[in-house]
A = this chain, B = another copy of it.
Amino acid sequence: MSAKTLKLTVAYDGAEYCGWQRQPQRRTVQGELERAWLAITSEEVTFNAAGRTDSGVHAAGQVASVDSETTVPVERLADALNSHLPADMLVVAAEHAPAGFHATHDAHHKRYRYSIYTGRSRPLFCRGFAWHVPAPLDVAAMQRGADLMVGTHDFASLQSVGSPRENTVRTIFEATVCAGGEGMASPVVGAGQGGAVAIAPGSPLSESADLITIDVVGDGFLYHMVRTIAGTLADVGRGRRPPEWVAEAIAARDRGAAGQTAPAHGLMLVSVDY
């Protein structure tokens, strides 16, 4: 039996997970996935993920890779795993990958979405998926600020202390701010081989007239970087800072120069491209 490399697309409601990464005595996405894998294949494996999402962060299209000798046919893997996974987690797709494929190292770009609920009262149906900023936000100003993030920059200002990276240069390919969920009218999840949970329009859960989304696509992200982008753009949206301040904050290469780290539950890893 020869080892093969498999690629899984995984979705989860992060509320009850201590993030992706396996930890003793903690409920984690990796831990649940490896437990389900053991149940159906009797293999003890370690999955690699495209993005090691933090505690409370959601995913529609996380990607995980594994080397395995399982005899379970690939087309039956997702159903088999899902029957062993809890309700707040789902394997959306399982497929063969080229030998040596590594979900973390081979990721070309990742798309994250940060959702902000701007209604005056607290959100109800989307309360687990959006940060409540009870103020009218200037979406056009936020977009001008977001435009200043696009490109290759040293993003040290947007990295939380506690998990520093030596190289803080990253490339942001796209940063789009949408109001009222309008950006969701087009499918945001790439129709890649792996598929993903669609997060297109039309849900009974939405309070979308008051929903603002920030989509960020980049080749990699520093610790808390998307959440700091959200906090920084919220300051611009509220008029506390002009859009141009975003460029100044990045240029300062100092965490204190940017906005707050927005809460984890507003963040979703939408998709990963290879």
Contact = CB atoms under 8 A, between A and B. Distances in A.
Contacts of A181: 200-203
Interface in A230-249: none
Given A12-B124, A82-B122, A90-B122, A206 B209 contact: no
Contacts of A204: 58, 113, 115, 126, 129-130, 184, 199, 211, 213, 268
A127 B11 CA distance: 13
Interface in A162-211: 180-185, 197-211
A75 interface: no
A97 interface: no
Nearest to A180: B202
Give the size range of A's interface with the partner: 35 or more
A58 B181 CA distance: 22
Interface in A71-96: 78-79, 82, 87-90, 92
A129 B13 CA distance: 14
User: This chain: how many copies in the complex?
Assistant: 2
A127 B207 contact: no
A274 interface: no
A60 B185 CA distance: 22
Most B Cβ at <10 Å: residue of A11, A121, A122 = A121
Contact of A126 (B122, B185, B201, B203): B203
A115 B78 CA distance: 25
Contacts of A208: 198, 200-203
Nearest to A270: B204
A92 B186 CA distance: 30
